[in-house]
Amino acid sequence: MPTTPSPFTRKPPAAPTVAQLIRFGAREFDAAGLAYGHGTVDATDDAAALVFHALGLDHADAGTAYAVKPGGPQVEQVLGLFAERLRRRVPVAYLMGRMWFAGLEFEVDQRVIVPRSPLAELIARGFAPWIDPARVLRVVDLGTGSGCIAIACALQFPQARVDAVDLSPDALEVATRNVQRHGVGARLQLHLGDTFEPLGDAVYDLIVSNPPYVSDAEMDALPREYLHEPDMALRAGSDGLDVVRRILREADAHLAPGGILVVEVGDSEGRLQQAYPGVPFVWLEFEHGGGGVFLLTKDDLRRHRHELSGAS
């Protein structure tokens, strides 16, 4: 009977400690040239996430966990996950079925992208100093995916009602589970539809979005890890701005006086500025990395409404 060839370049260590398992995995991941950035930053982070997950260890116990020697079946389970990561280039979040965002745990599977937006940092600050957190009573998250941004906002602003929209019924099934998990169902409503379309004429103090913003050309060049994510969560036309344009066109009508629009556009930042040269996008800075997030106020949207409604 043919056997599947080992995906490893070296022999796994015998009776390893947690630290040795992580080191082994990280070396193999580096040797294979895996891509990171789906909630983990490098090979060691990736391997550690899988080891801690398989062994049921808590990251808070990292200090003592590294010396632990797992039993044989547990080691086999870890090596199975390493092999899966190497053979199919599946991001670790999908192998674990979960990922953390803004300090919260979310269920994830291939119906939603892996939560990783730098918006987490802004949410943790209550979007200060751009808006007074105490006056945020209505929030909408456009393109909610797993629900991570909407749920983190609901928890950050306990006085607020939150709407969350997605065009994917599959994504909303995952978001529904996460809404239940975090107990915010009384204040957070999920909507199926295209950006503002299912919301009628509702207005918000905060409109937040991490929409699809990858151009067709960039999609073709993405590492294999990204192909496990839903195409519609990433791809946004020839210049990556298809969905962002729609948001910009309609945001003014849905923003309350004093409100703000905050949108992640990643590497489409330059193309967006070219498409709307007169619009004073404020590009936000992040202590923990990431960028490509702009902010516009209600006044900005109002003043530039002709340009925002017209750019093709």
Ligand X SMILES: C[S@@+](CC[C@H](N)C(=O)[O-])C[C@H]1O[C@@H](n2cnc3c(N)ncnc32)[C@H](O)[C@@H]1O
Does 233 help bind ligand X (rule: CB under 6 A)?
Answer: yes
Which one of residues 28, 107, 166, 218 is an interface residue with ligand X (CB under 6 A)?
A: 166
Q: Between 194 and 299, whose beta carbon lies closer to ligand X?
A: 194
- Contact letters (x/-) for ligand X, 84-123, by CB under 6 A? ----------------------------xx-x-x------
Instruction: Specify whether the CB–CB gap between 114 and 38 falls below 8 A.
Output: yes
Does 215 help bind ligand X (rule: CB under 6 A)?
Answer: no
Q: Between 184 and 243, whose beta carbon lies closer to ligand X?
A: 243
Instruction: Specify whether the CB–CB gap between 43 and 230 falls below 8 A.
Output: no
Q: Between 43 and 171, whose beta carbon lies closer to ligand X?
A: 171
Closest approach of ligand X to the CB of residue 202, in Å: 15
Looking only at the bridges linking them, the beta strands covering 204-209 and 255-264 are parallel
Closest approach of ligand X to the CB of residue 129, in Å: 23
Q: Between 65 and 179, whose beta carbon lies closer to ligand X?
A: 179
Secondary element (H or E) of residue 105: strand 104-107
Within 13 A of 233's CA, how many CA atoms are on the CB side? 23
Closest approach of ligand X to the CB of residue 166, in Å: 5
Q: How many residues bind ligand X (CB under 6 A)?
A: 24
Question: ω into residue 13 within 30 of 0, thus cis?
Answer: no
Measured CA to CA, the distance from residue 291 to residue 298 in angstroms comes to 22
Does 143 help bind ligand X (rule: CB under 6 A)?
Answer: yes
Closest approach of ligand X to the CB of residue 143, in Å: 3
Measured CA to CA, the distance from residue 311 to residue 233 in angstroms comes to 23
Measured CA to CA, the distance from residue 230 to residue 144 in angstroms comes to 13
Please give the single-letter amino acid code of residue 37. G
Alpha-carbon torsion (269, 270, 271, 276), positive or negative: positive
Closest approach of ligand X to the CB of residue 115, in Å: 4
Task: Write phi, then psi, for 279 (nearest 5 degrees).
Answer: -90, 130
Q: Between 135 and 228, whose beta carbon lies closer to ligand X?
A: 228
Q: Which residues pair with 165 in a beta bridge?
A: 142, 191
Which one of residues 168, 178, 215, 268 is an interface residue with ligand X (CB under 6 A)?
A: 168
Does 149 help bind ligand X (rule: CB under 6 A)?
Answer: yes
Measured CA to CA, the distance from residue 219 to residue 240 in angstroms comes to 10
- Contact letters (x/-) for ligand X, 174-213, by CB under 6 A? --------------------xx--------------xxx-
Q: How many residues does the chain have?
A: 312
Q: Which of 22, 209, 194, 39 lies closest to 115 in space, CA to CA?
A: 39
Does 40 help bind ligand X (rule: CB under 6 A)?
Answer: no
Stretch that binds ligand X, among 3-11, 55-63, 164-172, 180-188 (CB under 6 A): 164-172
Can you give the binding site for ligand X, defined by CB under 6 A?
A: 112-113, 115, 117, 142-146, 148-149, 165-168, 171, 194-195, 210-212, 232-233, 243
